Structure 1
Amino acid sequence: MPQISPLSWLNLFIYFILIFMIFNTMNYFSFLYKNKKLNFKSQKKQLNWKW
């Protein structure tokens, strides 16, 4: 489509890049990670040495 000015192509490109970045950031921050340190239980292994 040669009748479209290059400025419109640039605006369209920026528009799609912004939508892509917003989509990626929303997907990244919408997932909640569980903190592994809170669920960590320290277990001591007791060995009875009989000498």
Structure 2
Amino acid sequence: MPQMSPMWWMSLMLMTIFMMFLLNSMLYFNMNKIKMQMKKFITPKNNWKW
């Protein structure tokens, strides 16, 4: 493996960093969406007319 070109290692490293960034961003936005949905469920608008 060490005989491989440095460009290959650089591309591999960049790919892993990019994938981690993408995964983190997806998780972050999904968590925001889930939190918003939970807030909607927690605080429903009860307009009861007894």
Higher helix share: 2
Q: Which residue of structure 1 lines up, in the alignment, with residue 46 of structure 2?
A: none
Q: Deviations over 1:1-51 (max 9, x none)?
A: 22210010000000000000000000000122235xxx4xxxxxxxxxxxx
- Report the aligned-residue RMSD: 1.7
Unaligned stretches of 5+ residues in structure 1? 40-51
Unaligned stretches of 5+ residues in structure 2? 44-50
Alignment map for 1:9-28 (pairs within 5 Å): 9-28=9-28
Rg (Cα) greater in structure: 1
Q: Aligned residue pairs: how many?
A: 37
> How many percent identity over aligned positions?
33
TM-score of the superposed pair, with normalisation by structure 1: 0.61
Quick one: which amino acid aligns to residue 28 of structure 1? Answer: Y
TM-score of the superposed pair, with normalisation by structure 2: 0.62
